[in-house]
Chains A and B, each alone.
Chain A
Amino acid sequence: MFFSFFAELREAKVPVSLREYLTLMEAMQKRVAAFDIEDFYFLARTALVKDERHLDRFDRVFGHCFKGSETPADPQTAIPDQWLRKLAERFLTDEEKQLIEALGGWEQLMESLRQRLAEQRSRHQGGGKWIGTAGTSPFGAYGYNPEGVRVGQQGGRNRSAVKVWDRREFRNLDDTVELGTRNIKLALRRLRQFAREGAAEELDLGGTVKSTAHNAGWLDLKLVPERHNVVKLLLFLDVGGSMEDHVRVCEELFSATRSEFKHLIHFYFHNCIYESVWRDSRRRHVEQVPIIELIRTYDRSYRIVLVGDASMSPYEIEKEGGSVERWNDEPGEVWLRRLFEAYPRAVWLNPVPEKYWAGTTSIAMIRRIAENRMFPLTLDGLDRAMRRLKRRG
């Protein structure tokens, strides 16, 4: 069971290494969590997960692997020491091997783990401390009442009928969920990070004085990255009906990072790009900016981000006159291509969940025109998009 737990964690993309696994064993050996599945869960979590984004995946795997079992593992079959040992020889650093030796070697480690688990089992049969036993959980059945019913105190702490890991309390922290006000802060940080990178170097006066003094008076120049950054961005936001909420989140996101960019200029469009875009979403017919002029004004060093659901009738992309706003002499596709050509560093952010992309014709079309540079509007998508923006072309 331990083995499959470990393997499933890796499969679920929780990046656990053998080192973490050893840490968990060592902690078991030192009785950090004894006799209690819930403590074991907490211990495994603190030892194996190093990033809050992975907590929810961990919970799912834990729930799955230990489903219905009140004891963490069957000590007789659980530990594939053969397998671990082989793996250890291949992947452990010398330092880690020393760590194992320091703990008394593999045999010792495995043996005490077995004992620990066996103790837990007998405890369990004694019926003492386990959750779900009579008297502590009137709702008994596994998985019943997902919100959890408080069932009173035990040993000074609270228990609820739903197991902790099944409550999925960290769901919001997984970065593959849609971007919203919940995780906008994190998104901001990522964006800032992006904006700060790639800055030029400037003279570090303090550092130079200091290291010159250090150098007994011989000049020793020091350089540091310039604090203010150089990223210039054109942001195109789709203001079509269903997009409103997402666009607001996105607009907020970029506006909040405004000071980090050397230039950040917003434009608005509806569904697709045609011969002009707007500077102000409310006065779309007043302040139009022709794409041609835009391309003349902002040079190729600008990067562009388009935010839109790319969901429309295919006509709106491939036909002249397809625009829902007003007559267009040339199809949207032509204008999109012009834009992408003028700005080699470009991405399209799409609030529609990635799994629906293939099923929507217009999304597939735009994606093709954007040469696959479409990313979902999630933290992870944002990350990937920003990485892509750093590359040329």
Chain B
Amino acid sequence: MLRFEGTDTYVATQDLQVAVNAAIALERPLLVKGEPGTGKTILAHEIARGIAKDLITWHIKSTTKAQQGLYEYDAVSRLRDGQLGDERVHDIANYIVPGKLWEAFEAPEAPVLLIDEIDKADIEFPNDLLLELDRMEFYVYETRRTIRARHRPIVIITSNNEKELPDAFLRRCFFHYIRFPDRETMQRIIDVHFPGLKHELVHEALTIFYDTRQAPGLKKKPSTSELLDWIKLLLVEDISPEVLRTRDPAKLIPPLHGALLKNEEDVHLFERLAFLHRRERSGS
């Protein structure tokens, strides 16, 4: 049986592995949630890589309709062809454009199908896909054809919690909430991205990173992706672990903080904290 255990570029914690493998074994969708930047989207890519399958990505926007995942009827082209007297116009099948689900169903080998950010769409969207995801088939009215999955794709769905998902939909999925990585997991994640990084540097960077996340009142807590960006910058600028450790106590703001704090208010907040920190020190 296929088993996913993470890859050389992706750290999958044990609970995530169990969830993914349950979804693979039972051929049921896996719904993944978690803070932004905790590797929800990349997970599907890594599953595909890990078990050597193709990946089909369907990125959902606020205007996306369930039907678009099945197929669309390109009426405008047909109208145009009709006016130009094109022969194709007589066969409606020429104007049926397959969607991502169709693509996944027709694949010669079960692919991984990523439905990214499902919560962006209309509240009815998940319900509209229930049957198709359950039965893995749908009917094309225009051509009176049923499209049936040759192999059930491995479906990974991500959500950022913008909307509640309907119960009927949830009942059909496995669910995994990516907990924000603890220090140890984070260390492993850094390791797959920057193998052979100096242990000291990682240690200091992680300390600053988790301290930063703890600052009360942050609008946007830096996440895994910000940490990785920041470390990349530290490397480019050749910042040494000593610099990270013996930061000027007058400045609490970490070097190259732009990668960690993306929002002006958060930078201000940090400056305020630095000020308090200084006062505390001089007082003691």
**Chain B CB within 10 Å, residue with most, of A17, A33, A46, A214:** A46
Asked if A45 and B15 make an inter-chain contact with CB atoms under 8 angstroms apart, the answer reads yes
Contact of A27 among B15, B26, B216 (CB under 8 A): B26
Q: Which of A36-44, A274-282, A314-322 contacts B (4 or more CB under 8 A)?
A: A36-44
Name B168-191 residues within 8 Å CB distance of A: 170-171, 173-177, 179, 184
B76 touches A50 (CB 8 A): no
Segment of B17-25, B53-61, B275-283 in the binding face: B17-25
Q: Is A69 an interface residue (CB 8 A)?
A: no
* Chain B residues closer than 8 Å to A33, beta-carbon distance: 18, 22
Asked if A46 meets B22 with Cβ closer than 8 Å, knowing A17-B171, A39-B14, A169-B179, the reply is yes
A158 CB, nearest partner CB in chain B, Å: 7
Residues of B within 8 A of A214 (CB): 73, 75
Q: Closest approach, in angstroms, between the C-beta of B76 and any C-beta of chain A?
A: 5
Tell me if A294 is interfacial: C-beta within 8 Å of chain B: no
Q: Are A32 and B175 in contact (CB under 8 A)?
A: no
Taking a contact as CB atoms closer than 8 A, the residue among B161, B173, B217 that contacts A186 in the complex is B161
Query: Which residues of B lie under 8 Å from residue A38 when comparing CB positions?
Result: 14
Q: Are B177 and A173 in contact (CB under 8 A)?
A: yes
Is the CB–CB distance between A52 and B15 below 8 Å?
no
Q: How far is it, in angstroms, between the C-alpha of A170 and the C-alpha of B33 when the chains are bound?
A: 13
CB distance A189 to B18 under 8 Å?
no
When the two chains form their complex, are residues B22 and A181 in contact, meaning their CB atoms are under 8 A apart? no
Also in contact, A193 and B73, with CB within 8 A (given A27-B22, A50-B31): no
Report the separation of the CA atoms of residues A50 and B161 in the bound assembly, to the nearest whole angstrom.
12
Which residue of chain B has its CB nearest to the CB of A164?
B15
B217 lies within 8 A of A181 (CB): yes
**Residues 134-180 of A at the B interface (beta carbon under 8 Å):** 150, 157-158, 164, 169-170, 173
* Chain B residues, Cβ within 8 Å of A20: 171
**Please, which residue of chain B has its CB at the minimum distance from the CB of A33?**
B18
Q: Does B267 sit within 8 A of A, measured CB to CB?
A: no
Residues of B within 8 Å of A43, CB to CB, are 18, 22
Contact B31 A39 (CB under 8 A): no
Count B-side interface residues using an 8 Å CB cutoff: 34
Interface of A is mostly: helix
Chain B residues with CB under 8 A of A158: 184
Q: Say if the beta carbon of A380 comes within 8 Å of chain B.
A: no
User: Is there a chain B Cβ closer than 8 Å to A30's Cβ?
Assistant: yes
Q: How far is the CB of A54 from chain B (nearest CB, A)?
A: 10
Query: Counting CB contacts under 8 A, is A123 at the interface?
Result: no
CB of A47 within 8 Å of the partner chain: yes
Considering the chains assembled together, what is the distance between the CA atoms of A33 and B18 in angstroms? 7
CB distance from A380 to the nearest CB of B (A): 13
Q: Is A79 an interface residue (CB 8 A)?
A: no
Per the bound structure, the CA–CA distance linking A95 and B172 in Å amounts to 12
B45 within 8 A of A: no
* In the complex, B40 has a CB within 8 A of chain A: no
A158→B134 CA distance, assembly (Å): 36
* A-contacting residues, B226-273, CB 8 Å: none
Which residues does chain A contribute within 8 Å of B18, judged by CB atoms?
32-33, 39, 42-43, 46
B161 touches A189 (CB 8 A): yes
B167 cross-chain contacts in A, Cβ below 8 A? 15, 50
Nearest to A26 among chain B residues (CB) is B26
If A42-B15, A193-B163 touch, whether A47 touches B22 (CB-CB below 8 Å) is: yes
The residues of A that contact B26 with a CB separation of less than 8 Å are: 23, 26-27, 30, 32
Measured CB to CB, the nearest residue on chain B to A50 is: B170
Check if A46 sits within 8 Å of B19, measured CB to CB.
Answer: yes
Q: A15 — which chain B residues lie within 8 A by C-beta? A: 167
Complex formed: what's the CA distance from A284 to B83 in Å?
Answer: 71
Which residue of chain A lies nearest to B173 when distances are taken between CB atoms in the complex? A50
Provide the residues of chain A in CB contact with B25, threshold 8 Å.
27, 30-32
Interface status of B162 (Cβ within 8 A of chain A) = yes
Contact A52:B177 (CB < 8 A) given known A47-B22, A181-B217: yes
- Set of chain B residues within 8 Å of A213, measured between Cβ atoms: 75-76, 79
Cα–Cα, bound, A131→B134 (Å): 37
Interface of chain A residues 164 through 222 with chain B (CB within 8 A)? 164, 169-170, 173, 181, 186, 189, 193, 210, 213-214, 216-217
User: Given A42-B15, A46-B175 in contact, is the A210-B76 Cβ separation under 8 Å?
Assistant: yes
Once the chains bind, are A181 and B171 in contact (CB under 8 Å)?
no
Is residue B152 contacting chain A, with contact meaning CB distance below 8 A?
A: no
CB distance from A166 to the nearest CB of B (A): 15
Q: Which of A50, A170, A173 contacts B171 (CB 8 A)?
A: A50
User: What are the residues of chain B within 8 A of A45 when measuring CB–CB?
Assistant: 15
Question: Is A329 located at the chain interface by the 8 A CB criterion?
Answer: no
* Chain A residues, CB < 8 A from B73: 214
Q: Which of B14, B30, B33 lies in contact with A157, CB distance below 8 A?
A: B14
Instruction: Kindly state the separation between the CA atoms of A20 and B172 in the bound complex, as whole angstroms.
Output: 8
Q: A23-B26, A45-B15 are in contact. Are A181 and B177 (CB under 8 A)?
A: no
Q: Which residues of A contact B147 (CB under 8 A)?
A: none
Nearest chain A residue, comparing its CB with the CB of B80: A213
Closest to B73 in A: A214
Contact indicator B14/A47 (Cβ below 8 Å): no
Question: Shortest distance in angstroms between A218's beta carbon and chain B's nearest beta carbon?
Answer: 12
Known: A27-B22, A32-B22, A170-B179. 17 other contacts (CB 8 A): A15-B167, A19-B171, A23-B174, A30-B1, A31-B1, A32-B21, A42-B18, A43-B22, A45-B15, A46-B15, A46-B30, A47-B174, A55-B177, A157-B14, A186-B161, A189-B162, A213-B79
Interface, chain A (partner B; CB < 8 A):
15, 17, 19-20, 23, 26-27, 30-33, 38-39, 42-43, 45-47, 49-52, 55, 95, 150, 157-158, 164, 169-170, 173, 181, 186, 189, 193, 210, 213-214, 216-217
